């Protein structure tokens, strides 16, 4: 009997680990459900997006490109320009600590899969790559909202693209197609995650954060920068 005790305690320990792991999994899924999150097909996908926080690949080496960055004189929405006709913002800036906006076609589901995505203003592409995780294909564009002499740079970030038409280091015009709307191989319903950042060149982050420092409300920004001097 004494010989069996260690074996029994190992078995009890293993059983406890299995039960604990099961509990964590269930509470994770429930939490994702309550949070609402992105327009999810899979409830666990929010964790994938958050998991990208430590992924350094989204870093944009913006300094290489800023000298060529054109002055942006006007801004439009990235879908259905100029006013996002046929689309709606499913998860506004700030909701669930979202640091961007989720643009969806009004017909819902994947009806908008492959729809064109346009640059919101003149700028220079500083990043265009597949970073996997909850992001997939990401395009990042720097815009000068100051003057040639006194530049003020902001950055627009377009996530989950199906295809990318933008190339790193290339200048783009407002309304130029930079890619198409994606669903990350059905991880989500197709949508565009759009961010506008006043802190340029930062790590890609996780799409959600309590701290909104360096992130701007895209709709407010676009509407207040329709036409600049």
Q: Which helix (H) or strand (E) holds 104?
A: strand 101-105
Q: Is 160 in the site for Zn ion (CB under 5 A)?
A: no
Pick the piece of the chain touching Zn ion (CB under 5 A) from 23-31, 75-83, 142-150, 190-198: 190-198
| Residue 195 in contact with Zn ion, rule: CB under 5 A | no
Nearest distance from C-beta of residue 73 to Zn ion, angstroms = 28
| Size of site (CB under 5 A) for Zn ion | 4
Task: Report how far residue 150's alpha carbon sits from residue 98's, in angstroms, rounded to the nearest whole number.
Answer: 31
Nearer to Zn ion, 123 or 206 (CB): 206
Nearest to 99 by CA among 202, 227, 226: 202
Which C-beta is closer to Zn ion: that of 143 or that of 193?
193
Q: Stretches 8-16, 82-90, 102-110, 148-156: which one binds Zn ion (CB under 5 A)?
A: 102-110
193 interacts with Zn ion by CB under 5 A: yes
46 interacts with Zn ion by CB under 5 A: no
Applying CB under 5 A, the residues found at the interface with Zn ion are: 38, 100, 102, 193
């Amino acid at each position: 009997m004494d010989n069996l005790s260690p074996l029994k305690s190992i078995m009890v320990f293993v059983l406890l680990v299995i039960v604990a792991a099961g509990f964590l999994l269930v509470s994770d899924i429930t939490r994702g459900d309550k949070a609402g999150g992105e327009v999810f097909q899979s409830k666990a996908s929010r964790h994938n997006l958050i998991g990208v926080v430590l992924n350094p690949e989204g870093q944009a080496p913006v300094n290489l490109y800023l000298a060529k960055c054109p002055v942006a004189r006007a801004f439009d929405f990235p879908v259905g320009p100029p006013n996002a006709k046929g689309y709606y913002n499913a998860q506004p800036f700030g909701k669930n600590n979202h640091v961007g906006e989720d643009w969806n076609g009004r017909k819902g589901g994947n009806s908008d899969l492959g729809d064109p995505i346009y640059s919101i203003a003149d700028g220079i592409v500083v990043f265009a790559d597949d970073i996997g995780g909850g992001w997939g294909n990401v395009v990042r564009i720097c815009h000068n909202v100051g003057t040639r002499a006194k530049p003020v740079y902001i950055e627009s970030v377009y996530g989950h693209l199906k295809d990318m038409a933008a190339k790193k280091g290339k200048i783009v015009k407002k309304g130029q197609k930079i890619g198409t709307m994606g669903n990350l191989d059905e991880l989500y319903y197709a949508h565009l995650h759009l961010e506008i950042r006043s802190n340029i060149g930062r790590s890609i982050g996780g799409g959600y954060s309590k701290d909104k420092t360096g992130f701007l409300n895209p709709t407010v920004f676009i509407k207040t920068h329709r036409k600049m001097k």
